[in-house]
Amino acid sequence: MGDFKTLDDLPQDLTGQRALVRVDLNLPMKDGRATDLTRARAVAPTILELSDRGAKVLLLAHYGRPKGERHSTLSLSEIVGELERVIDKEVMFIPEVEGPVVEQSVGILSAGDIGLLENTRFWPGEEANDADFAKAIAANGDFYVNDAFSAAHRAHATTEGLAHLLPSYAGRAMQKELEALDAALGNPTPPVAAVVGGAKVSTKLAVLENLSRRVQHLIIGGGMANTFLAANGVDVGKSLCEHDLTDTARAIMDAADEAGCTIHLPYDVVVAKEFAANPSSLRTCNVHEVAAEEMILDIGPQATEALGDVLKTCATLVWNGPLGAFETPPFDEATVALAKTAAALTQDGSLVSVAGGGDTVAALAHAGVTDDVTYVSTAGGAFLEWMEGKELPGVAALSA
Ligand code: ADP
Ligand code: MG
């Protein structure tokens, strides 16, 4: 991670300064109300701090996928009310992102006022990272703050282009995310354990390859463990398994071996003949005893306990992907148990634990440990690309 500036590098008094602030306000909406305010809450501290310090806060965000055209249903005017409720302040909606309407609106705003500009993706220049488009936006700002880590894997005008045109700073949410990710994988305290679970190897090949070079313990669970087991000659019955990727799985195991990374695969598993809640065919067995008509739907209790013991020897944990089909009980048991172990070790101060991924966030919430691990990233695609070891253009531009 390069060194980036934060809001601490700005003068304390920002009275009248125009801050162009990229945020993630892509709220899930239903009947005019947000069903989840996590994203708005995440960027509230940055918005409120800049406002308190006297800046005119101009928020830039995308919303949905309008593909370079105006869509009335994707206007950010839809979410102004939700944002106002979260920050408990009035927000002026500005129906453009550049040009005279923005300039006049900014003129009307007083120090500390907050304006929300229209959906940046209404303009094709956003996703094309068009230099003239970025310049036109930058004309209405004195400095740029990026608080949208979740969009940092995209080199768009408001996530990357602006950083080259104005003095640039990481917002508080971005700063927190980058510090957590750095502690987990950029510059972690060894030994480091990575848990990679989820459905398929094919969606996480790059993640597995990167981690096998960088961590001391690679714990593989979920459906993808079946592909690795199959590569080791285990008959996984009817389990979700990518048989065409067994060579790839072998190559990852060999590379890990060479890098001194221990791969942990389950030796007991929870199986059933049908995928349903609490099926009558449910049983726990050794991986070598899975019947032809059975599916592996979770890792077993012995493996889970052994993995807990691995975590006890580690200083750092990075986690993406549930260990089993956690949405359907009792196939949530291993994920919940290991999550609780990780949370307890974190609370004891012996483990730094960072997790991310859409279903992982849900699984940790289900286990009730969201607040007891060090950091949970809700950044989705950006988190995965970071797990793959890729440089994120939005982050790189802040550090340039
Ligand atoms: P994330 O969104 O956290 O990156 P993924 O999308 O890769 O995670 O994987 C989550 C999905 O994997 C969940 O829907 C879960 O039910 C599924 N899954 C986990 N283990 C198994 C398994 N053994 N068989 C089938 N599906 C599984
Ligand atoms: Mg998912």
Choose among 348, 399, 342, 397: nearest CA to 375.
342
- What lies within 8 Å, CB to CB, of 177 at 6+ separation is 149, 375, 377, 379
pLDDT number for residue 3: 87
Neighbours of 18 (CB within 10 A): 19
pLDDT tens, 200-249? Answer: 999 999 999 999 999 999 999 999 999 999 999 999 999 999 999 999 99
Alpha helices per DSSP H over 232-325: 246-259, 301-312
- Give the CA angle between residues 339, 345, 348 to the nearest 5°: 140
Catalytic (active-site) positions: 39, 200, 358, 381
Choose among 344, 394, 395, 353: nearest CA to 376.
353
Q: Which of 359, 364, 378 to mutate to test the pocket of ligand 1 (most atoms within 8 A of CB)?
A: 359
Choose among 217, 220, 213: nearest CA to 190.
217
- pLDDT over 90 at 157, yes or no: yes
Tokens of 119: 């959906």
Mean pLDDT of the chain: 97
pLDDT number for residue 2: 61
* Mean pLDDT value across residues 291-311: 98
| More confident site: 67 or 400 | 67
> Near ion ligand 2, which residues have CB within 5 Å?
358-359
- pLDDT over 70 at 1, yes or no: no
Share of the chain above pLDDT 90, in %: 98
Ligand 1 atom 16, closest CA? 325
Choose among 153, 196, 127: nearest CA to 382.
153
Task: Write 104-113 long-range contacts (CB < 8 A, 24+).
Answer: 106/18, 106/56, 106/58, 106/140, 109/56, 110/56, 111/15, 111/16, 111/54, 111/55, 111/56, 112/51, 112/52, 112/54, 112/55, 112/56, 112/57, 113/51, 113/56, 113/57
Q: Nearest 5°: phi and psi at 22?
A: -85, 120
Residues 89 and 113: their CA atoms lie apart, in Å, by 9
Atom of ligand 1 at shortest range from CA of 357: 3
Distances in whole angstroms, Cα of residue 40 to Cα of each of 32, 81, 194: 15, 11, 29
Rounded (10°) CA dihedral 343, 347, 353, 358: 40
Distances in whole angstroms, Cα of residue 155 to Cα of each of 58, 178, 350: 20, 17, 37
How many CA atoms lie less than 13 Å away from 366 in the CB half-sphere?
Answer: 21
What SS3 class is residue 398? helix
Tokens of 162: 């602006």
Residues 70 and 96: their CA atoms lie apart, in Å, by 10
pLDDT tens, 158-170? Answer: 999 999 999 999 9
- pLDDT over 80 at 400, yes or no: no
Location of structure tokens 């929870």: 270
**Which pTM does this prediction carry?**
0.94
Q: Please, what sign has the CA dihedral across residues 360, 173, 382, 5?
A: negative
Q: Please, what sign has the CA dihedral across residues 198, 203, 205, 210?
A: negative
Residues 214 and 202: their CA atoms lie apart, in Å, by 20
pLDDT tens, 43-76? Answer: 999 999 999 999 999 999 999 999 999 999 999 9
- Distance from the CA of 96 to the center of ligand 2, in angstroms? 34
Ligand 1 atom 24, closest CA? 223
Atom of ligand 1 at shortest range from CA of 222: 20
pLDDT tens, 95-148? Answer: 999 999 999 999 999 999 999 999 999 999 999 999 999 999 999 999 999 999
Share of the chain above pLDDT 70, in %: 100
pLDDT tens, 358-384? Answer: 999 999 999 999 999 999 999 989 999
Q: Model confidence at 276, in pLDDT bands (50, 70, 90)?
A: very high
